[in-house]
Amino acid sequence: MKLFFSRILPLLLLGLGAGLLNGLLGAGGGILLVYGLQRIRGIRITDRRAVFATALAVTLPLSCLSAIHYFRQGSLAVDMLAWLIFPAILGGALGGLLLRRLSPRLLSRIFAAVVLVSGVVLLL
């Protein structure tokens, strides 16, 4: 029972929050997952790669479900998909290669900078 309340329930709530953010905003679920996984599981800085990879694995099905929902609503810009998907796949592959080569500290700084700049741009 202690394991449920200390680890499992927080992970379930984190997943629910990530899904809600991703479905509502189309983004943010991964950011919440990265932050939450570091806090809930007490992951050390050397495990940051596992945090980023886990967040990515969770957001993939979230993004697919959200895209299907948006498509059914007619909210998806289908005409732009071909121009975005293939370069995004290339960028994802390059990012995966860089994940293994960059230090966890540098990865954390890059992540923090992206979140910070995104927040400032959205507020302007």
- Tell me the pLDDT tens digit for each residue of 73-92: 999 898 999 899 999 999 99
Confidence of residue 43 (pLDDT cuts 50, 70, 90): low
% of the chain exceeding 70 in pLDDT: 95
Report pLDDT for 47.
75
Average pLDDT over the chain, rounded to an integer: 87
70 burial (CB, 10 Å; 0-12 / 13-18 / 19+) is middle
The domain spans of the chain are 2-123
What is the structure's pLDDT at 110?
94
Alpha-carbon span 100 to 102, nearest angstrom: 6
